[in-house]
Amino acid sequence: MADDADKESKTEEATEQKIRDALEKGNMPFSRETPILAGIASFLIIAVFVAGPATTKLAVFLRELIDRPEDWLLNSAEDASRLFGVLALAVGAALVPVFIIIPLAGIAASAFQNAPRFVGERIRPQASRISPLKGWQRIFGRSGQVEFLKSLAKFLAASVIVFVVFFSGNSLFTDAVASDPSALPEFLRENMVRLLVANVLAITAIAGF
């Protein structure tokens, strides 16, 4: 009984040691689809909650700028610089949420899978990383071919899902031509949301494979 207990404890210690070694080397499980899903989801959030108010506010500013040209004199280089500065601030204010949401989504996707940690092994110079022979083996070896086929299958599956959800029965181009020009931005935003939703569904469906 004591021998069996010792064997079980040794097995558990070996397993924990392997896990510890893998963490130290940075060999942690990581899904490639999760960052892609987070990126597309961030664009979906922007399209649903940010794009409408931001573009409306920017359009109002530009309309006032065009309707009252006498408020902006261009008699000198300083006047032009001031005008360009105001335009840059208006456009920058509209883009600030984009520059915040997308990086946060990428960081959250990585942190959700593994806790952030510094791994020196990942940045240590290795001859195999610059060896053409090793690179050729990684790309055209059996594992590389398997990964290529898996990626191709995922791409085809995602394409089919996007086509079925977005393009099937959707007269996008005819509706765009027939729509009122003033309603075209909202029309494009709504269809962009549909396309992003289709991509999110596709990536979510294939993420487990």
Map out the domains of the chain as residue ranges. Answer: 31-113, 128-209
Write down the H helix ranges in 114-183: 120-123, 127-130, 132-140, 142-162, 172-178
Residue 71 per-residue DSSP state:
G
pLDDT of 6 > 80? The answer is no
pLDDT of 122 > 70? The answer is no
Return the residue matching tokens 């299958």. Answer: 153
Helix axes 142-162, 132-140, angle to 10 degrees: 50
Helix (H, G, I), strand (E, B) or coil at 126: coil
CA distance 192 to 145: 34
Q: pLDDT per residue over 141-166, tens digit each?
A: 777 778 788 778 878 877 887 777 66
Q: Could you give the percent of the chain with pLDDT greater than 90? A: 5
First-to-final CA distance of the chain: 42
Give me the chain's average pLDDT, please: 76
pLDDT of 101 > 90? The answer is yes
pLDDT of 73 > 80? The answer is no
Name which of 33-42, 100-109, 128-137, 160-169 the model is least confident about. Answer: 128-137
Selection from 2-16, 99-113, 193-207 with the highest mean pLDDT: 99-113
Report, as an integer, the average pLDDT of 15-28: 63
